[in-house]
């Protein structure tokens, strides 16, 4: 059975002028449909990738899946439970939040510069009440740092003391700290150099195997996606225009938009 199911997800943004301006100018309300009736499902332990150009609605979907943004219509089911159900209890919601974590594109913006790395990693541990004693929390921090290829000494350092790739490892460690089942990766390597990108992508794969993590992986880079995804969904202007496994999508793209995206990738191989 699918672990995550997005069912007819739609999200509109209201771009209207304030009502008083509308009254005076008789401008109509303006709605932007950023995500338009998108459905997909992800099996446990697999990676589903969403690709598309800037503004196609990728991050909007990510935010809805992680619960940061409510859908205008449609629903997300996670492990048999509806995430956006109003009737869900506070305790259940907290439990769901622990199980779905997110890694963002910019490791600069997403890490609090005033906190030492150890505190950044402990915050979710405390918030979700995972380990009570300080000793256990410290042990867990060391374990997390080790899992992402950093050392226990790094717990006392601050984010600015790390390179971009190392900072992204810290973001991943923080996502792991609440022992999630799902990680939403929104352009996790777009700000990184190729050699650093390879390290971070490999790390994500190793962790996936070790903890049977489920990934929703968002990127505009088809080459990256081709090495990461078990299944790929192509977004164009908020609509899912094609979905396929990599071997099929790249060999026989069916949608003209998908073809255009693939043709735009510099052909590295043909030298």
- Contacts with another protein, residue ranges (CB under 8 A): 53-54, 163-166, 193-199, 201-202, 205, 220-224, 226-230, 246-247, 250-251, 260-269, 271
Radius of gyration, CA atoms only, the chain = 20
User: Which residue, 22 or 157, is less far from another protein as judged by CB?
Assistant: 157
φ, ψ at 36 (rounded to 5°): -125, 95
Residue 143 Cβ, how far from Mg ion at the closest point, in Å? 31
- Could you tell me which residues come within 8 angstroms of residue 209 by beta carbon, excluding any fewer than 6 positions away? none
User: Which residue, 44 or 205, is less far from another protein as judged by CB?
Assistant: 205
Q: Is 195 in the site for ligand ATP (CB under 6 A)?
A: no
| Among Mg ion, another protein, ligand ATP, none, residue 32 binds (CB under 5-8 Å by kind) | ligand ATP
Q: By the 8 A CB rule, do 45 and 39 touch?
A: no
User: Which residue, 35 or 144, is less far from ligand ATP as judged by CB?
Assistant: 35
- Could you tell me which residues come within 8 angstroms of residue 53 by beta carbon, excluding any fewer than 6 positions away? 220, 236, 261
The region of 52-60, 81-89, 136-144, 154-162 touching ligand ATP under the rule CB under 6 A is 52-60
Residue 28 Cβ, how far from ligand ATP at the closest point, in Å? 17
Q: Is 59 in the site for Mg ion (CB under 5 A)?
A: yes
Q: Is 58 in the site for ligand ATP (CB under 6 A)?
A: yes
Nearest to 66, CA basis, from 123, 139, 4: 4
Residue 144 Cβ, how far from ligand ATP at the closest point, in Å? 28
Q: What is the DSSP string of 228-250?
A: H-SEEEEEETTEEEEEE-HHHHH
Q: Is 158 in the site for ligand ATP (CB under 6 A)?
A: no
Residue 17 Cβ, how far from ligand ATP at the closest point, in Å? 13
Q: Is 71 in the site for ligand ATP (CB under 6 A)?
A: no
Residue 98 Cβ, how far from another protein at the closest point, in Å? 28
CA distance 18 to 56: 26
Nearest to 194, CA basis, from 266, 249, 120, 251: 266
Helix residue spans in the chain (DSSP H) = 19-25, 58-66, 90-99, 117-127, 134-147, 164-176, 194-211, 222-228, 246-251, 256-264
Q: Is 57 in the site for ligand ATP (CB under 6 A)?
A: yes
- For the chain, the first-to-last Cα distance in angstroms comes to 44
Q: Is 55 in the site for ligand ATP (CB under 6 A)?
A: yes
């Amino acid at each position: 059975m699918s672990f995550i199911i997005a069912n007819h997800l739609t999200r509109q943004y209201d771009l209207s002028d304030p009502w008083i301006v509308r009254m005076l100018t008789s401008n109509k309300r303006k709605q932007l449909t950023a995500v338009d009736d998108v459905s997909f499902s992800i099996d446990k332990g697999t990676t589903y990738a969403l690709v598309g150009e800037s503004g196609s609605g990728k991050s909007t979907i990510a935010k809805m899946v992680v619960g940061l943004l409510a859908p205008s219509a449609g629903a997300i089911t996670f492990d048999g439970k509806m995430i956006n159900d109003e009737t869900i209890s506070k305790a259940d919601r907290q439990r769901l939040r622990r199980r779905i974590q997110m890694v963002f594109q910019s490791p600069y913006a997403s890490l609090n510069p005033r906190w030492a790395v150890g505190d950044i990693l402990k915050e979710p541990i405390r918030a979700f009440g995972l380990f009570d004693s300080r000793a256990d929390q410290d042990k867990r921090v060391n374990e997390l740092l080790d899992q992402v290829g950093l050392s226990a000494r790094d717990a006392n350092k601050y984010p600015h003391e790390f390179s971009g790739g190392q900072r992204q490892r810290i973001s991943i460690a923080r996502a792991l700290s609440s022992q999630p089942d799902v990680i939403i990766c929104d352009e996790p390597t777009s700000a990184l150099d190729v050699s650093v990108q390879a390290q971070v992508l490999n790390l994500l794969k190793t962790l996936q195997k070790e903890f049977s993590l489920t990934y929703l992986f968002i990127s505009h880079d088809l080459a990256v996606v081709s090495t990461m995804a078990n299944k790929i969904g192509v977004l164009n202007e908020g609509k899912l225009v094609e979905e396929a496994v990599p071997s099929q999508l790249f060999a026989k793209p069916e949608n003209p938009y998908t073809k255009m995206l693939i043709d735009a990738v510099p052909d590295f191989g043909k030298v």
